Amino acid sequence: MSAASDIVPVGLSEGRTRVVIERITPAVDDGRFPIKRVLGDTVEVEADCLADGHEVVACALLWRQGGATDWQRTTMQPLGNDRWRAAFAVTELGTWEYTVCAWVDPFLSWRSDFARRVDADDVRIAALSGARLIDEAAQRAGRHGDGRLLRAWSAELGAAAGSTEVAQLHRIGLDDARAAAAQRHPDLRHAMTHPQALAVTVERVRARFSSWYEFFPRSAAAQPGRHGTFADCEAWLPYVQRMGFDVIYFPPIHPIGRTRRKGRNNTLDPRPDDVGSPWAIGAAEGGHEAILSDLGTLADFKRLILRAAEHDIEIALDIAFQCSPDHPWVQEHPQWFRKRADGSIQYAENPPKKYQDIYPFDFESAEWREMWEALVGVFEHWIRQGVRIFRVDNPHTKAFAFWEWAIARVRASHPDVIFLSEAFTRPKVMHRLAKVGFSQSYTYFTWRNTKPELSAYFTALSQGPGREYFRPNLWPNTPDILPAALQYGGRAVFMSRVALAATLGANYGIYGPAFELLEHRALRSGGEEYLDSEKFELRAWQRDSAQSLADFIGVLNRARRDNPALQGDAGLRFLAIDNEQLIAYAKVSDDRSNIVVCIVNLDPHHTQSGWVEIDPGAFGLDPGQTYQMHELITGAHFLWHGARNFVSLDPQRCPAHVMQLRARLLRENDFDYFL
Amino acid sequence: MSAASDIVPVGLSEGRTRVVIERITPAVDDGRFPIKRVLGDTVEVEADCLADGHEVVACALLWRQGGATDWQRTTMQPLGNDRWRAAFAVTELGTWEYTVCAWVDPFLSWRSDFARRVDADDVRIAALSGARLIDEAAQRAGRHGDGRLLRAWSAELGAAAGSTEVAQLHRIGLDDARAAAAQRHPDLRHAMTHPQALAVTVERVRARFSSWYEFFPRSAAAQPGRHGTFADCEAWLPYVQRMGFDVIYFPPIHPIGRTRRKGRNNTLDPRPDDVGSPWAIGAAEGGHEAILSDLGTLADFKRLILRAAEHDIEIALDIAFQCSPDHPWVQEHPQWFRKRADGSIQYAENPPKKYQDIYPFDFESAEWREMWEALVGVFEHWIRQGVRIFRVDNPHTKAFAFWEWAIARVRASHPDVIFLSEAFTRPKVMHRLAKVGFSQSYTYFTWRNTKPELSAYFTALSQGPGREYFRPNLWPNTPDILPAALQYGGRAVFMSRVALAATLGANYGIYGPAFELLEHRALRSGGEEYLDSEKFELRAWQRDSAQSLADFIGVLNRARRDNPALQGDAGLRFLAIDNEQLIAYAKVSDDRSNIVVCIVNLDPHHTQSGWVEIDPGAFGLDPGQTYQMHELITGAHFLWHGARNFVSLDPQRCPAHVMQLRARLLRENDFDYFL
Q: pLDDT for B320-369, tens place per residue?
A: 999 999 999 999 999 999 999 999 999 999 888 889 899 999 999 999 99
Q: How confident is the model at residue A13 (pLDDT cuts 50, 70, 90)?
A: low
Are B129 and A340 in contact (CB < 8 Å)? Answer: yes
CA distance to partner chain B, nearest, from residue A14 (Å): 9
Element (DSSP H or E) covering residue B126: helix B120-141
Q: How confident is the model at residue B625 (pLDDT cuts 50, 70, 90)?
A: confident
Number of DSSP helices (H) and strands (E) in chain A, helices first: 16, 31
3-state secondary structure of A277: coil
In this predicted structure, the answer to whether residue B295 has a pLDDT above a threshold of 60 is yes
In this predicted structure, the answer to whether residue A178 has a pLDDT above a threshold of 90 is yes
Catalytic residue among A46, A234, A314, A422: A422
State how far the Cα of B292 lies from the Cα of B301, in Å rounded to an integer.
11
- Cα torsion through A299, A300, A306, A309, rounded to 10: -150
Are A52 and B22 in contact (CB < 8 Å)? Answer: no
For B147-205, write each residue's pLDDT tens digit: 999 999 999 999 999 887 899 999 999 999 999 999 999 999 999 999 999 999 999 99
The secondary structure of B406-417 as a DSSP string is HHHHHHHH-TT-
Are B118 and A15 in contact (CB < 8 Å)? Answer: no
Are B52 and A352 in contact (CB < 8 Å)? Answer: no
pLDDT at B331: 97
Are B396 and A48 in contact (CB < 8 Å)? Answer: no
* Minimum CA–CA partner of A55 in chain B: B397
- Region of A40 (left: φ > 0; alpha: ψ -120 to 50; beta: rest) is left
Is A342 labeled as catalytic in the residue annotation?
no
Strand-strand pairing, B472-474 and B507-511: parallel
Q: Using an 8 Å CB-CB cutoff, list chain A residues near B405.
A: 12, 15
For B62-85, write each residue's pLDDT tens digit: 999 988 999 999 999 999 999 999
Are A190 and B128 in contact (CB < 8 Å)? Answer: no
Interval B446-471 mean pLDDT: 98
Give the distance from CA B472 to its chain's centroid: 7
Surface-to-core class of residue B320, CB atoms within 10 Å of its CB (0-12 exposed, 13-18 middle, 19+ buried): buried
pLDDT at A1: 35
Closest alpha carbon to B358 in B270, B292, B262, B286: B262
Q: Using an 8 Å CB-CB cutoff, list chain B residues near A398.
A: 52
3-state secondary structure of B418: strand
CA distance to partner chain A, nearest, from residue B302 (Å): 34
State how far the Cα of B28 lies from the Cα of B435, in Å rounded to an integer.
8
Give the distance from CA A331 to its chain's centroid: 40
Q: Using an 8 Å CB-CB cutoff, list chain A residues near B401.
A: 12, 15, 17-18
Are B18 and A48 in contact (CB < 8 Å)? Answer: no
pLDDT at B673: 40
State how far the Cα of B425 lies from the Cα of B439, in Å rounded to an integer.
17
In this predicted structure, the answer to whether residue A90 has a pLDDT above a threshold of 60 is yes
Give the amino acid at A418.
Answer: I
Interval A658-663 mean pLDDT: 93
Mutate to test the interface with A, among B52, B56, B110, B355 (most CBs of A within 10 A): B52
Give the distance from CA A205 to its chain's centroid: 9
CA distance to partner chain A, nearest, from residue B262 (Å): 20
The fraction of chain A above a pLDDT of 70, given in percent, is 96
The fraction of chain B above a pLDDT of 70, given in percent, is 96
Contact status, residue A197 vs residue A97, Cβ threshold 8 Å: yes
Q: How confident is the model at residue A270 (pLDDT cuts 50, 70, 90)?
A: very high
For B14-23, write each residue's pLDDT tens digit: 799 999 999 9
Are B29 and A22 in contact (CB < 8 Å)? Answer: yes
Mutate to test the interface with B, among A30, A52, A469 (most CBs of B within 10 A): A52
Q: Using an 8 Å CB-CB cutoff, list chain A residues near B428.
A: 22, 48, 50, 81-82
In this predicted structure, the answer to whether residue A173 has a pLDDT above a threshold of 50 is yes
Q: Using an 8 Å CB-CB cutoff, list chain A residues near B350.
A: 54
Q: What is the DSSP letter of A577?
A: B
State how far the Cα of B493 lies from the Cα of B512, in Å rounded to an integer.
16
State how far the Cα of A539 lies from the Cα of A530, in Å rounded to an integer.
12
**Of B128, B340, B352, which is closest to A341 when you measure between CB atoms?**
B128
State how far the Cα of B289 lies from the Cα of A160, in Å rounded to an integer.
45
Within 10 angstroms of residue A662's Cβ, the number of other Cβ atoms is 12
3-state secondary structure of A307: helix
Closest alpha carbon to B190 in A334, A423, A341, A401: A401
Contact status, residue A84 vs residue A47, Cβ threshold 8 Å: yes
* Minimum CA–CA partner of A114 in chain B: B351
Residues of B with catalytic annotation? 393, 422
Are B18 and A53 in contact (CB < 8 Å)? Answer: no
Q: Which residues pair with residue B57 across a beta bridge? A: B104
Q: How confident is the model at residue B664 (pLDDT cuts 50, 70, 90)?
A: low
Interval A274-303 mean pLDDT: 98
pLDDT at A665: 43
* Minimum CA–CA partner of B12 in chain A: A401
CA distance to partner chain A, nearest, from residue B377 (Å): 17
In this predicted structure, the answer to whether residue B92 has a pLDDT above a threshold of 80 is yes
Contact status, residue A370 vs residue A402, Cβ threshold 8 Å: no
For A41-81, write each residue's pLDDT tens digit: 999 999 999 999 999 999 999 999 988 999 999 999 999 99
Interval B564-592 mean pLDDT: 97
Using only C-alpha atoms, chain A has a radius of gyration, in whole angstroms, of 31
State how far the Cα of B503 lies from the Cα of B510, in Å rounded to an integer.
14
Are A428 and B48 in contact (CB < 8 Å)? Answer: yes
In this predicted structure, the answer to whether residue A667 has a pLDDT above a threshold of 60 is no
Q: Which residues have C-beta within 8 Å of that of residue A64, sequence separation ≥ 6?
A: A70, A71, A72, A96, A97, A98
Average pLDDT across chain B, whole number? 94
Q: How confident is the model at residue A11 (pLDDT cuts 50, 70, 90)?
A: very low
Interval A323-352 mean pLDDT: 95
* Minimum CA–CA partner of B121 in chain A: A342
Q: How confident is the model at residue A622 (pLDDT cuts 50, 70, 90)?
A: confident
* Minimum CA–CA partner of B349 in chain A: A113
Are B29 and A15 in contact (CB < 8 Å)? Answer: no
Peptide bond into A224 cis (omega under 30): no
State how far the Cα of B262 lies from the Cα of B245, in Å rounded to an integer.
32
Interval B295-308 mean pLDDT: 98
pLDDT at B95: 97
Give the distance from CA A184 to its chain's centroid: 36
Are B50 and A117 in contact (CB < 8 Å)? Answer: no
Q: 3-state DSSP helix/strand/coil percent for chain A, to nearest 5? A: 35, 25, 40
* Minimum CA–CA partner of A394 in chain B: B53
**Of A52, A82, A426, which is closest to B398 when you measure between CB atoms?**
A52
3-state secondary structure of A62: strand
State how far the Cα of A315 lies from the Cα of A325, in Å rounded to an integer.
28
- Tell me the torsion sign for CA atoms A53, A58, A63, A68: negative
pLDDT at B6: 36
Interval A531-552 mean pLDDT: 97
State how far the Cα of B319 lies from the Cα of B249, in Å rounded to an integer.
11
pTM of the model: 0.94
Q: How confident is the model at residue A14 (pLDDT cuts 50, 70, 90)?
A: confident
Q: What is the DSSP letter of B151?
A: H
Surface-to-core class of residue A533, CB atoms within 10 Å of its CB (0-12 exposed, 13-18 middle, 19+ buried): buried
Are B29 and A12 in contact (CB < 8 Å)? Answer: no
Is A468 labeled as catalytic in the residue annotation?
no
pLDDT at B624: 83
In this predicted structure, the answer to whether residue B670 has a pLDDT above a threshold of 60 is no
Are B401 and A81 in contact (CB < 8 Å)? Answer: no
State the helix-helix crossing angle for B176-183 and B106-116, rounded to 10 degrees. Answer: 160
pLDDT at B8: 35
For B394-407, write each residue's pLDDT tens digit: 999 999 999 999 99
Residue B507 phi/psi, 5° resolution? Answer: -115, 130
State how far the Cα of A657 lies from the Cα of A168, in Å rounded to an integer.
67
Interval A90-95 mean pLDDT: 97
CA distance to partner chain B, nearest, from residue A485 (Å): 26
Q: Using an 8 Å CB-CB cutoff, list chain A residues near B132.
A: 341
**Of B125, B342, B404, which is closest to A340 when you measure between CB atoms?**
B125
3-state secondary structure of B605: coil
CA angle centred on A217, ends A215 and A219, rounded to 5°: 85
Catalytic residue among A246, A393, A519, A537: A393
The secondary structure of A145-204 as a DSSP string is THHHHHHHHHHHHHHHTTS--HHHHHHHHT-HHHHHHHHTS---TT-EE-SPPEEEEEE-
Q: How confident is the model at residue A672 (pLDDT cuts 50, 70, 90)?
A: very low
**Of A119, A341, A369, which is closest to B352 when you measure between CB atoms?**
A119
* Minimum CA–CA partner of A350 in chain B: B113
Surface-to-core class of residue B560, CB atoms within 10 Å of its CB (0-12 exposed, 13-18 middle, 19+ buried): buried
* Minimum CA–CA partner of A396 in chain B: B52
CA angle centred on B12, ends B6 and B17, rounded to 5°: 55
Are A400 and B52 in contact (CB < 8 Å)? Answer: yes
State how far the Cα of B424 lies from the Cα of B441, in Å rounded to an integer.
9
CA distance to partner chain A, nearest, from residue B192 (Å): 12
- Region of B163 (left: φ > 0; alpha: ψ -120 to 50; beta: rest) is beta
- Cα torsion through A374, A376, A382, A388, rounded to 10: 180
Q: What is the DSSP letter of A483?
A: -
Residue A639 phi/psi, 5° resolution? Answer: -95, 120
CA distance to partner chain A, nearest, from residue B104 (Å): 10
Q: Using an 8 Å CB-CB cutoff, list chain A residues near B343.
A: none
For B385-431, write each residue's pLDDT tens digit: 999 999 999 999 999 999 999 999 999 999 999 999 999 999 999 99
**Of A117, A364, A369, which is closest to B352 when you measure between CB atoms?**
A117
- Region of A291 (left: φ > 0; alpha: ψ -120 to 50; beta: rest) is beta
Using only C-alpha atoms, chain B has a radius of gyration, in whole angstroms, of 31
Give the amino acid at A549.
Answer: L
More confident site: A616 or A252? A252
Are B129 and A82 in contact (CB < 8 Å)? Answer: no
* Minimum CA–CA partner of B106 in chain A: A364
Residue B36 phi/psi, 5° resolution? Answer: -115, 140
Surface-to-core class of residue B247, CB atoms within 10 Å of its CB (0-12 exposed, 13-18 middle, 19+ buried): buried
